[in-house]
Amino acid sequence: MDEHDYGLTQARLAYAAHDWTSAAAHFDAVPPEQFTADDFAAHADAVWWVGRVEDNLRLGAAAYDAFLAESRTAEAAHIAMVLGIFHMGRGDEPRAVGWLGRARRLAEDVQDSPVHGWVLTFMGVEASLMAGQPAAAVDAARQVQDIGRRVGAPDLVAVGLNGEGRALIRSGHVADGLALLDEAMVTVLDGQLAPFISGTLYCHTIAACHEVSDVRRMARWTTLAEQWLATFPAAVLFGGLCAVHRAQLLLLHGEWLEAEQVALRVVVDLCASRIDYAAEAWYVTAEARRLRGDPGAAEAYDEAHARGRDPQPGRALLQLRTGDADGAATSVRSAVAAAGTDPLSRAPLCSALVEIAISAGRLDDAVVAAAELEATAAKYATSGLEAMAAAARGAVLLAEGQPERALPVLREACRRWHELGAEYDAAGICVRLAEAYRALGDAASACAEDERAKAVYERLGVHQQAPDGLTRRECEVLVLVAEGRSNREIGEALFISDRTVARHLTNIFHKIGVTSRTQAARYAIDRRLDLRTTA
């Protein structure tokens, strides 16, 4: 056996063992003219796993030509479909359409074969889901399952189940859809599928859970995906996709710096292969920065936007944080309009719209958004959506001057956020609970909720610049106004004269555009100034 024969043998053995790093290195050392079509395909797959995207596309095209030369039409069609998907992930739609057209045309010349199921998966299931046609996606997914059972391809059956599940979720049949996702994943956990299919199903499942805010299920599948990835010496793309989902969970749990670090570690790799996930990584980064008061948030939103990710509602919430409540309200209302009719796309926007509209004094907008969010939560009934809906409803009731009705709703929202490990969101509810108790004259309960929220904010390191040009002293005065203290009590607390307090209040009213202590107190509470350290 000569050197090249030995290298090719080692490459094939390493590839069979899923040691893609070694397989790629051994294949690299062998002259391509010694490759069979299967070798080209294996080499393309190996370099894909280690993150060499351009080499993958080049070798995939060579594999396609080699399969055609060997009259293996089904294999050529499959390679063409994979290349189409990869180009689509990179945002190169013309090449994607071209390769997918080749796949469809070649599949027409093949007798009963798994390739028909794979072409239908993308052309029927995924295309219908992207077009907002879940009923058509359900029909196509069931056809994929039928093909898989007929030709003895368990991977097709699993992919079809997953597609049907995601389509049912989009149709509002969440429990049935999630059950099908879990059923498909049993096949993955049993180790019956090829690594690429397993990774794809992990990603589809986690993304679907995130879309409907099923936080618990998302966290569980993310953990299992990470454990699965740890069994491979290299898995650059799937590792990056999983990292973005982990960053989303870290963001929810208040681990903002780690969320940003995790997201930023993968943006370069993902820009070369999955620009949609790269955009989401930048959005997570922006959110983490916004919540930490990092001025780099705006730039990160721009990076997400440049890659096709709507930067809302984060960008509007950033506007609110800097004191531009009216501008934020206009921005988020535009984002809701641009989202179309899909309730899942609109839900996070409606949640932000409630908070922003209340701050901007547009209570009618908040009422409408909260009602829509409640309807979405009732239809999809997942943990995250129900928490968002309760929080929105409680905030609106409080803003309407109904603290007695708001209290039980806010209590429920607080409980739900705590169960999900969303400390920051729960602390925000505590602030509103304090306001409700204060409105009812229960100073002790209000103080307890304030202290509870303050402890969380201090632990998370929540920090913001003073809005609307307020000085630190003016913020301190405003905090005490929100607590219901008189000028004399404020002066005693800050060791300043009553006249100085009055002068500060005049300046504050002018800067924030209010005319009464009640309006000033609402301003402070809406911005949680009583619970933040201002610079």
Q: Given pLDDT bands bounded at 50, 70 and 90, which one contains residue 535?
A: very low
pLDDT above 50 (res 532):
no
Domain identity same for 50 and 186: yes
At residue 390, what is the residue type?
Answer: A
- Of the ranges 70-74, 86-90, 109-113, 403-407, which one carries the lowest mean pLDDT score? 109-113
User: How far is the CA of 226 from the CAs of 206, 213, 239, 257, 398, in angstroms?
Assistant: 12, 20, 8, 20, 42
Domain identity same for 209 and 69: yes
**Alpha-carbon Rg of the chain, whole angstroms?**
27
C-alpha closest to that of 199 among 171, 231, 173, 167: 231
What is the pLDDT at residue 140?
97
Give the rounded percent of residues in the chain with a pLDDT score beyond 70: 96
Chosen domain end from 253, 285, 311: 311
C-alpha closest to that of 245 among 275, 273, 272, 205: 205
Q: What number of residues does the chain have? A: 535
Cβ-proximal residues to 51 (8 Å cutoff; 6+ apart), any chain: 234, 236, 237, 269, 272, 273
Can you tell me the distance from the alpha carbon of 239 to that of 124, in angstroms, rounded to the nearest whole number? 27
Chosen domain end from 270, 295, 311: 311
Asked whether residue 489 is domain-assigned, the answer is yes
**Cis ω before 313 (30° cut-off from 0):** yes
Number of compact structural domains in the chain: 3
Q: 306 lies in which domain range?
A: 235-311
Can you tell me the distance from the alpha carbon of 122 to that of 244, in angstroms, rounded to the nearest whole number? 23
Can you tell me the distance from the alpha carbon of 122 to that of 250, in angstroms, rounded to the nearest whole number? 31
Domain identity same for 207 and 242: no
Give the CA count within 13 Å in the CB-facing half-sphere of 72: 15
Domain identity same for 205 and 253: no
337: how many CB neighbours lie within 10 A of its CB?
A: 10
**Would you say the C-alpha torsion 521, 526, 532, 535 has a positive or negative sign?**
negative
Domain identity same for 123 and 58: yes
Can you tell me the distance from the alpha carbon of 449 to that of 432, in angstroms, rounded to the nearest whole number? 9
What is the pLDDT at residue 533?
42
User: How do the residues of the chain divide into helix, strand and coil, expressed in percent and rounded to 5?
Assistant: 80, 0, 20
pLDDT above 50 (res 423):
yes
Mean confidence (pLDDT) of the chain:
92
CATH number at residue 518: 1.10.10.10
Q: Given pLDDT bands bounded at 50, 70 and 90, which one contains residue 525?
A: confident
Domain identity same for 273 and 134: no
Asked whether residue 354 is domain-assigned, the answer is no
- Tokens 């990092």 sit on residue: 294
What is the pLDDT at residue 329?
93
pLDDT above 90 (res 65):
yes
155: how many CB neighbours lie within 10 A of its CB?
A: 21
Asked whether residue 367 is domain-assigned, the answer is no
Asked whether residue 477 is domain-assigned, the answer is yes
Domain identity same for 140 and 270: no
Domain identity same for 31 and 148: yes
CA angle 524, 527, 532 (to 5 degrees): 90
Domain identity same for 92 and 209: yes
Can you tell me the distance from the alpha carbon of 424 to that of 451, in angstroms, rounded to the nearest whole number? 14
pTM of the full predicted structure? 0.85
Chosen domain end from 311, 341, 357: 311
C-alpha closest to that of 292 among 534, 463, 467, 532: 463
Give the CA count within 13 Å in the CB-facing half-sphere of 256: 21
- Output 317 or 518, whichever has higher pLDDT: 317
CATH number at residue 142: 1.25.40.10
Checking phi first, is residue 421 left (phi over 0); if not, alpha (psi -120 to 50) or beta?
left
3-class DSSP string for 373-387: HHHHHHHHCCHHHHH
Domain identity same for 191 and 305: no
Domain identity same for 171 and 239: no
- Tokens 């498909």 sit on residue: 184
Domain identity same for 40 and 168: yes
What is the pLDDT at residue 528?
67
User: How far is the CA of 10 from the CAs of 4, 22, 47, 235, 262, in angstroms?
Assistant: 10, 8, 15, 20, 35
What's the average model confidence in pLDDT over 457-461? Answer: 88
Q: Given pLDDT bands bounded at 50, 70 and 90, which one contains residue 44?
A: very high
